[in-house]
Structure 1
Amino acid sequence: MIKLTLKDIANHFSVSISTVSKALHDSHEISDKLKNRIQEFAKENHYRPNKVALNLVNRSTKSIGVVIPDILNYFFIQVLYGVEKVANERGYSIISCVTDHSLKKETMTLEMLSSGSVDGLIISSVASERQTSKHIENVKSIVDYQIPLVMFDRVIDAIECDKVIVDDFEAGYKATKYLLETGCKTIAIITPINKTKIGRLRIGGYKRALKERDIPFDDKLITPIGAKDDLDFILSFILNDKNIDGILVLDEITTVKTMAIIKARGYHVPNDIAIIGFTNGQLSKYVTPALTMVSQHGTYIGETCAHRLIDRIEGLSSPGGFETKVVKTSLIVRESTRKIPLG
């Protein structure tokens, strides 16, 4: 079947393409008789508007770009779900891109998306400690081009735009305080995000909880781990300290791996060692014992980002007046931690 175009309809009725377009959009400028004839003809011949052509005319793509650093992190999957849910409700589609924590890939992705393929961008940038002035300028250029931008989670303070962030300090504090209240006295941290601002904030909350109990901070209990590091080997050093009875792990996959290794070495979770992780994903619910986790409410963050961005795109937000929304976390208590003693 040959696809019917506006030009074909115009030729059929010996009118201009503009007249056909107005008739299909029920414009009062066209007589009811001609409108009805054109609309009926379009319907009978299964006319569908060319969205690409309409976008060029309207200077709108009805698409938003979402840039995340890691697709294996369940938190970012939750955010994507929230963004897509709201985008669909408001008539937008999304183009999602993963940077794999690469500055080069992020720069290339932003250049591609900001060249006119989307109406606005939602970004969680790469680790802040790796940001250079050139990289910040690359992100800033999006704002300079007047492309609406919302940053979430891993944001750049120097960029003026709407932001949605997690209260990571409180999250670290809340998790550590709970471990202490259950009777843990020596709590180690395993952090795959040691070089990020959010990692530092979570450790800051950990320090605050220790200070309230007059427990001195020991930096030897903080263990950074990279993607290529052998977690089993690293945990052997942590477990050599027989006093450790609690572990806080700053991402979900590492939390699950940590518990598996600890159990394989003959420790009981939570009686010997209690464990709390971050990001309340599917993995944490179905392992044994089920893991106590810090929920960052990724779906809500995605929904909030999408609403803010689309409001900017559609001119529903006042120019400037950028806001930073801080989202509180929740501690989802399961079997990997002891119960708080009564009394």
Structure 2
Amino acid sequence: MLNIREIAKLAGVGKSTVSRVINNTGYVSEDTRKRIEKVMKENGYHPSAVARSLSKQQTNSIGIIIPQANNLFFNEIITGVENVVGENGYVLSFSNTNNDPDKENNAVLAFIEQRVSGIILQPTFSYEDAIYQEHLCKTLSRLQAPIVLVDRPLKHSVWDGVFFDGYLASYQATTALIENGNKTIGIITGNLDMQLARERFEGYIQAMKEHNISVQEKYVLRGDFTMETAYKLVKECLKEGTIPDAFFTTNNFATIGFLKAIIENNMTIGRDIACISFDYIDFADVLGMNLSYVGRHNNMGELAGKLLIDRISNNEFPQRIETVQPRLVLNGSEKSQIIYFYQKRDRSHKRMGGEFYQKWE
């Protein structure tokens, strides 16, 4: 295959002119551009992507770093980002840190070496540690390309970001459980050292306070956003007989752990206990659980991808922060049949007999 020097000779131009055409940099007259492109096409010349990236000091790759590859939420982020950057001619390179700060640091360094055109970062659980955050920000600042943070903010960040109003989501979910007749409402939290977990817990507290319902410590299950911990905590509640009317589960892994414990105890959500999940759980629909949930109005990955593409196109924009609002979807699990039948009986002032009430009264 011909090289740039030979293409330039056949087209009757200098090598620098051919280079400007290949890399789409600098001015080249339309006639000259067409003549060079014609020579390249006739001789089957395809410019090396590596060579182009070296001349521009960056590749056509976008790096994305996520903390949990096995989490449906983060998979949705990747899909959203890929849809946007792919439409704009970029290839997505993916790294999973498994919430390990060392892996996160290595991923950032690798993307810097690869000269990616930008990074979308969802930090590890260590993002709130002041010393680690300072180190991470210094490492990120070495990248001479745009960065967009997703879901987990960094203090004093100068970068664009896409975040979710977890406080409002928790407030809406807890309010819905209250308004559907549940008198005792529990919550499975994340690690409350994390801002995300605190925001969701505070939304729950505020809804309970506004409805004059006391928060009982035995119904506050202090988890860590993992399925295993949520499962263990709910099993302990079942064993001790301290199960509330309803639970709000503050992430999808907590929901899965909760459902596993409930099913093992031969209970059904929407019948024996009410529940609203944080985020949509796809397998719940498959199993016909009719699980209510509070989700997100927009795909955060798509928003992050758009912010990054805009920043690549024009780095003069002021810092942009997008806050995605919650979307409450009530499918029936927000009220158990026990509560429904008791309310119906109370309204009619009649005792509704039968085995169901003999069992529960």
Deviations 1:163-194 (A, max 9, x none): 21100100110110111111111111223444
Task: Rate the CA distance shift 1:322–1:219 in 2: closer, same or farther, 3 A.
Answer: farther
Q: CA deviation at 1:328?
A: 0.6
1:181-192 residue pairs with structure 2 within 5 A?
A: 181-192=179-190
Pair 1:79 & 2:84 matched: no
- Asked if 2 retains the 8 angstrom alpha-carbon contact of 1:311 and 1:317, the reply is no
| Structure 1: distance between partners of 2:2 and 2:334 | 64
Q: CA deviation at 1:229?
A: 4.1
- Asked if 2 retains the 8 angstrom alpha-carbon contact of 1:171 and 1:202, the reply is yes
Query: Out of 115, 118, 121, which is 1:120 matched to?
Result: 118
Decide which moves more: 143-152 or 301-310. 143-152
| Structure 2: distance between partners of 1:252 and 1:138 | 27
What's 1:235 paired with?
Answer: 234
Q: Secondary structure at the match of 1:114?
A: helix
Decide which moves more: 80-89 or 36-45. 36-45
Q: CA deviation at 1:162?
A: 1.4
Specify every segment of 5 or more residues in structure 2 that has no aligned partner in the other structure, as ranges: 348-361
Q: Secondary structure at the match of 1:295?
A: strand
Deviations 1:39-59 (A, max 9, x none): 333213322121211122123
What's 1:303 paired with?
Answer: 302
| Structure 1: distance between partners of 2:322 and 2:62 | 20
What's 2:327 paired with?
Answer: 330
The AA in structure 2 aligned to 1:51 is A
What's 1:63 paired with?
Answer: 61
Q: CA deviation at 1:279?
A: 1.8
Bigger fraction of residues in helix: 2
Q: CA deviation at 1:208?
A: 0.3
What's 2:204 paired with?
Answer: 206
Pair 1:17 & 2:40 matched: no
Q: Secondary structure at the match of 1:84?
A: helix
| Structure 1: distance between partners of 2:62 and 2:198 | 31
- Asked if 2 retains the 8 angstrom alpha-carbon contact of 1:26 and 1:35, the reply is no
Task: Rate the CA distance shift 1:243–1:101 in 2: closer, same or farther, 3 A.
Answer: closer
| Structure 2: distance between partners of 1:135 and 1:233 | 32
Deviations 1:268-287 (A, max 9, x none): 32132111112224223323
Query: Out of 92, 96, 99, which is 1:98 matched to?
Result: 96
Task: Rate the CA distance shift 1:128–1:294 in 2: closer, same or farther, 3 A.
Answer: farther
| Structure 2: distance between partners of 1:106 and 1:330 | 31
Q: CA deviation at 1:13?
A: 5.6
TM-score using structure 1 length: 0.86
Task: Rate the CA distance shift 1:112–1:144 in 2: closer, same or farther, 3 A.
Answer: closer
Q: CA deviation at 1:130?
A: 5.5
TM-score using structure 2 length: 0.82
Deviations 1:211-249 (A, max 9, x none): 011112223322233558465443222223355110111
Deviations 1:66-123 (A, max 9, x none): 1111111111111111111111122222212111011111111112212352122111
| Structure 1: distance between partners of 2:298 and 2:28 | 48
Q: Secondary structure at the match of 1:171?
A: helix
Deviations 1:185-209 (A, max 9, x none): 1111223444421111001000000
- Asked if 1 retains the 8 angstrom alpha-carbon contact of 2:67 and 2:122, the reply is yes
| Structure 2: distance between partners of 1:251 and 1:228 | 9
What's 2:352 paired with?
Answer: none
| Structure 2: distance between partners of 1:160 and 1:27 | 31
What's 1:258 paired with?
Answer: 258
The AA in structure 1 aligned to 2:219 is L
| Structure 2: distance between partners of 1:117 and 1:80 | 20
Decide which moves more: 249-258 or 119-128. 249-258
The AA in structure 1 aligned to 2:178 is L
Query: Out of 157, 160, 163, which is 2:161 matched to?
Result: 163
| Structure 2: distance between partners of 1:129 and 1:28 | 45
Larger relative CO (CA 8 A, sep 6+): 1 or 2? 1
**Identity percentage of aligned residues:** 28
Q: CA deviation at 1:17?
A: 2.4
What's 2:356 paired with?
Answer: none
Deviations 1:125-157 (A, max 9, x none): 112576241442322442365432211111112
- Asked if 2 retains the 8 angstrom alpha-carbon contact of 1:256 and 1:284, the reply is no
Specify every segment of 5 or more residues in structure 1 that has no aligned partner in the other structure, as ranges: none
The AA in structure 2 aligned to 1:313 is I
What's 1:289 paired with?
Answer: 289
What's 1:314 paired with?
Answer: 313
What's 1:6 paired with?
Answer: 4
| Structure 2: distance between partners of 1:31 and 1:71 | 47
What's 2:151 paired with?
Answer: 153
- Asked if 2 retains the 8 angstrom alpha-carbon contact of 1:167 and 1:328, the reply is yes
Task: Rate the CA distance shift 1:249–1:15 in 2: closer, same or farther, 3 A.
Answer: same
The AA in structure 1 aligned to 2:180 is T
